[in-house]
Amino acid sequence: MKWLTLLPIFLILGCSQQSEQLSINEIEQIKKTIIERSNKHAQDLKNLDYQEIMTFYADIDDYIGFGDGYYWGDYKTIDGIWHDFTAGVKKVEKFDFFNHKIHVFSEDVASCLLEFYNERIDANGNTTKGHGCFSFSMQKIDGDWKAVTSHVTHNYGVYDENGEVRKWWLYYSPENRQKKE
C-alpha cells in the first residue's frame, strides 16, 4: 500500500526530469553556440583585446581557475593574467582553438574542453610558441555562455627532434582503437 502513496511522487519526478531533457537539435545548437563563443575568445586573444577577453569569463565570487597542475585562483586572478598578457605581448601571430569537446548538462550548463596553439612576440621581439588545452565549465548567464571555472595546461618543450609534439597517447585514442578492432 505504501508504494501506491509513492507512485504519484515517482511519476511527478519522472515527468519533470523528462521535460528538462533537451532534444538532439537543442544540444547541437548549444554546442555550436559554445564553439562560436570560444572561437570569438581566441580571436579576442589574438587581437590582444583585454576588455573583450574578459567577457568570456563570469565575474562571480566562486570562480575557480587551475593551471599547469596548480590552483591559480579566482576571477581576479584570471583578470590579472589576461591583463598582463595583453600588456606584455607585442603581437599574437596565432591563437587557435580546435578539437572542441562539449558535454551539455542542461540548457544553461555545459563543459567545454579544447586544444589551443599560439605564437606570440613579446616586447623584446622574442617569439614563444605553445600549445595546450583548456577545460571550461560553462554557464549561460544573462543570455550569454561564460566560463565559471577554467583549467589550462601549457605544453612548452614537449617537442621531439623533428619539432613535432610527442603524442604518446595517440596509441590509446578512439581513432586508433577503432583501427585495431
pLDDT category, 101, cuts 50, 70, 90? very high
Exposure on the CB side of residue 122, measured as CA atoms within 13 A: 8
Q: Does residue 21 carry a pLDDT above 90?
A: yes
pLDDT digits (tens, 9 = 90+) for 28-81: 999 999 999 999 999 999 999 999 999 999 999 999 999 888 899 999 999 999
User: Reduced to 3 states, what is the DSSP secondary structure of residue 24?
Assistant: helix
Amino acid letter for position 180: K
| Contact predicate 61/73, CB 8 Å | no
Q: Which three cell numbers stand for residue 151?
A: 583549467
Rounded Cα–Cα distance for residues 102 and 33 (Å): 11
pLDDT digits (tens, 9 = 90+) for 104-157: 999 999 999 999 999 999 999 998 888 899 999 999 999 999 999 999 998 866
Rounded Cα–Cα distance for residues 34 and 139 (Å): 10
**Rounded to a whole number, what is the largest CA-CA distance in the chain?**
79
Number of neighbouring beta carbons within 10 Å of residue 145: 22
* Mean pLDDT value of segment 88-101: 96
Most confident by average pLDDT, 132-136, 159-163, 172-176? 132-136
Query: pTM for the complete prediction?
Result: 0.78
